Amino acid sequence: MSVTRIWVFDPANNTDHEAGGLRGRPNATPEWAENRGPGWASPDPEGSGPRRPRRVRAWMVVASVIAVVAIVLAGLGVWQALRVRGAVASCESMTSQATAAGTKLTKLVQSDEMKDAEAVTADQVEDPDTVTALKDALQDADGTERIDACTVEWYALHPDRIIELPAHTKERFESKREAVAKAVDAVVASRDAKTLADATSALKAKTDQASTLLKDSDGKVQDNATRDALGKAIDEARKLLDAGDDAKAMNDASAALDQATAAVNDSVKAKSDADMKAAAEAAAAQAAQQAQQSYTPTYTPSYSDGRYSNGGYAPAYTGGSAPSYTGGGSSSSGGGASSNGGNLDWLNHINDGGSACTSDGYCPIG
């Protein structure tokens, strides 16, 4: 039996459906269908058969789901590939930075600055602990660090973790270099502080000594220009002591003071030697003059026809004892006459009343 079904157009949903909402004949025609205007109901055209509702096939649903899943998976694959590629690129960049940090550490350890710091001993610094700290830092920096290649599987859940190892290696290199550089600076600073303190102390002591010498040498130098040079060196040294920040300049000033002090001392000695020589010469001259003035002979020689056996004449003394002669010379003994080597005792000869003697006291040898 043919069934006439009434379909109506629902403008709200833009769909056609049965007026009664049932697949069979409606029990009653809806009021809105009976009172519908043109276009609200479309009974089956004659001979066209009943109009069936549109149905969604199951295979279409499955196909749609598969397509959606495929699209999602493809999107996830692309996203994961991009993650892995970005992680590898970041890892390679960090590896380059870690390598550069290691190179900087190596250059510092092998630098001339490091060699200079290593040569410093504990007695050359104010704080000996800085020397020990440098040795410890160098020992720690001597350890090896591993830098792996940046590889990761595409399906890794956390590909960004491959950057952790080179990042940690870079941090360790930088930390070690910072520790070594800090230790080097500490040693150098401590050495420079002690050098400055020693230079200051030495320059101050030499300045005080030079000032005393400058005062004491006034009028005692052979060349006063040496004292002028010493005074200038003292003034320069005092300026450096007031500044108190240049150990090298202080050491140079100490050397200049040594040179100027030596020149003044030499000049003082030269004048002293000259004065002593002049005094000695004056004393010798005075002694000679005094000796010459104090010598006064007590006899007056006279001559007669008689001669000595050596062709000379015997002097006659007006007072005192007559000397005895040997050959052509004479020797006297205070207070009495003596006979030497068998010569004639003139006093005895006179006392014996020698007829050859003159009234003046001269007795020629017969």
pLDDT above 90 for 41:
no
Mean pLDDT on 182-197: 94
DSSP-assigned states of every residue in 262-280: HHHHHHHHHHHHHHHHHHH
pLDDT digits 0-9 by tens, 303-328: 444 444 444 444 544 444 445 444 44
- Higher-confidence position of 73 and 362: 73
297 vs 293, higher pLDDT: 293
Q: Is the pLDDT higher at 4 or at 47?
A: 4
Written as one letter, the residue type at 158 is H
**Per-residue pLDDT reduced to its tens digit, 164-185:** 889 999 999 999 999 999 999 9
Cα–chain center distance at 195: 9
CB 246 within 8 A of CB 240: yes
Q: Report the share of the chain in percent with pLDDT over 90.
A: 44
d(CA 317, CA 301): 8
**pLDDT value at residue 338:** 40
pLDDT, residue 103, reads 92
Distance CA 260, CA 237 (A): 12
Tell me the per-residue pLDDT of 68-87, one tens digit each, with 9 for 90 and over: 888 988 888 888 888 888 88
Provide the 10 A C-beta neighbour count for residue 258: 14
Which one is predicted more confidently, 235 or 73? 235
Residues 259-274 have pLDDT tens digits of: 999 999 999 999 999 9
**Residue of 336 and 101 predicted with greater confidence:** 101
Burial (CB < 10 A; 0-12, 13-18, 19+), residue 167, is middle
pLDDT at position 76 is: 82
Kindly report the average pLDDT of the chain as a whole number: 76
Q: Which helix (H) or strand (E) holds 157?
A: none
Mean pLDDT confidence for 226-251: 94
pLDDT of 48 strictly over 70: no
The mean pLDDT of 324-350, rounded to a whole number, is 44
Residue 211: what pLDDT?
A: 95
pLDDT band for 343, please (50, 70, 90 cuts): very low
Question: What CA–CA distances, in Å, run from 164 to 90, 153, 155, 160, 285?
Answer: 10, 16, 18, 8, 104
- CA torsion 278→282→283→285, rounded to 10°? 140
Whole-angstrom distance, CA of residue 298 vs CA of residue 194: 84
- Residue 113 pLDDT > 70: yes
pLDDT of residue 295: 59
Q: What is the pLDDT of residue 83?
A: 86
pLDDT given for residue 337 in this prediction: 38
Do 323 and 330 contact (CB within 8 A), yes or no?
Answer: yes
Residue 314 buriedness (CB in 10 A; 0-12 / 13-18 / 19+): buried
Closest CA to 213 of 159, 265, 165: 265
Closest residue by Cα to residue 232 from 248, 209, 214: 214
- What's the pLDDT band for 329 if we cut at 50, 70, 90? very low
Task: State the alpha helices, DSSP H only, in the chain.
Answer: 31-34, 58-109, 112-118, 129-141, 164-216, 225-243, 247-294, 346-351
pLDDT on residue 40: 44
